[in-house]
Amino acid sequence: MMKKYQRLIAWFLIPRGQYCDGCPFHFIDWGRPKQFNGYCSYLEKGDWNINEEKGDIQWYKDGEKSIVTKANEFPISLLWDGCKECGKKY
């Protein structure tokens, strides 16, 4: 019951639109590589979690990551860029 109540409150806090601008659940984890450092506390997932679910992560020698995905899926999560991954009030 409590989880359902928390989700209802969260619904009112998530802003309308395609971006996380002003969303209290959106964070950046500066300890992770660029373009893999977004985190959504509403989803309880970061770019790294979403990307691992979508495909295999490959490391390059400069330390940056790249994603190899399954067919017909968007290649990477865009939380790092402030794009919504939750789909709420899109």
Residue 49 neighbours by CB distance under 10 Å = 15
Residue given tokens 């209802």 in the structure block: 8
Q: What is the pLDDT of residue 71?
A: 43
**pTM reported for the whole predicted model:** 0.72
Q: pLDDT band at 1, cuts 50/70/90?
A: low
| Contacts (Cβ under 8 Å, ≥6 apart) of 79 | 20, 26, 38, 39, 40, 46, 47, 50, 85
In tens, the pLDDT along 48-82 reads 888 777 765 555 555 565 555 454 455 578 898 99
Q: What is the pLDDT of residue 45?
A: 93
Q: Domain-by-domain residue ranges, the chain?
A: 18-81
Q: What is the pLDDT of residue 65?
A: 59
In tens, the pLDDT along 11-42 reads 889 999 999 999 999 999 998 888 889 999 99
